[in-house]
Chain A
Amino acid sequence: QSALTQPRSVSGSPGQSVTISCTGTSSDVGGYNYVSWYQQHPGKAPKLIIYGVSKRPSGVPDRFSGSKSGNTASLTISGLQAEDEADYYCCSYAGGDTLVFGGGTKLTVL
């Protein structure tokens, strides 16, 4: 149950696009289409923004999109807005009904 690997930080200007990667193994990210992404603002509970690699829950703007290639999943945020500044976590099913999170990425909107 090793944590998935995410960049510690990314940044972008309003209106730009940023991509956050999430690298695992064939036993988690690469083995299943069960990757989810969570947004967490300071002092708040995490919020689901992507599930099943690329599906968006109701109410999540289509500026948020997810994809996967091999053992790496990605979250892309287009048209960056100030309110997108937050921590982002990926999470993958890892077999045997266990889950593993990434270490988290801090997004700064310049």
Chain B
Amino acid sequence: EVQLVESGGGLVQPGGSLRLSCAASGFTFSSYSMNWVRQAPGKGLEWVSYFGNSGSIYYADSVKGRFTISRDNAKNSLYLQMNSLRAEDTALYYCARDGGAAYEMDVWGQGTTVTVSS
């Protein structure tokens, strides 16, 4: 079964750091590009970052310079290092696989919650 499982969320103070993980299974992880997408409480979806299977990396303007995406193909894992966290970063963070045809996200995890508050 194709599956993505996020972990690492929690409560952190403003200005703090957190590292999210996404464990992939059921498919050849190294062959796929991956995304992080977040959803603030009661709000819509927001694309956060992309890690291409060829190594390209891109970020939304809202997180550029503060967040770092990485992956370990040997461990079938995607990561998101989040620094200088702000209250507006509070959200459910999803890991999503790029389907490879038209930048669609065809597999999603259940998400991990990040709360930034003092």
**A interface residues (Cβ-Cβ under 8 A, vs B):** 1, 3, 33-34, 36, 38, 40, 45-48, 51-53, 55, 57, 87, 89, 91, 93, 96-104
* Interface size in chain B (residues, C-beta < 8 A): 26
Question: Taking CB as reference atom, which chain A residue is nearest B102?
Answer: A52
Partner of B47, one of A33, A87, A101, A103: A101
Residues of B within 8 A of A103 (CB): 44
Closest to B57 in A: A97
Known contacts A51-B99, A98-B50, A99-B35: A3-B44 contact under CB 8 Å:
yes
B22-50 near A? 1/0 per residue, CB < 8 Å: 00000000000001010000001111001
Q: What would be 18 A-B contacts, judged by CB atoms less than 8 Å apart?
A: A1-B61, A1-B62, A38-B45, A45-B109, A45-B110, A46-B96, A46-B105, A48-B99, A51-B101, A52-B104, A55-B101, A93-B102, A96-B58, A97-B56, A98-B60, A99-B35, A99-B50, A101-B37
Q: Report whether A34 and B47 are in contact in the complex, using a CB–CB cutoff of 8 Å.
A: no
Q: A45-B110, A48-B99, A51-B106 are in contact. Are A98 and B58 (CB under 8 A)?
A: yes
Chain A CB within 10 Å — which of B35, B103, B108, B110 has the most?
A: B103
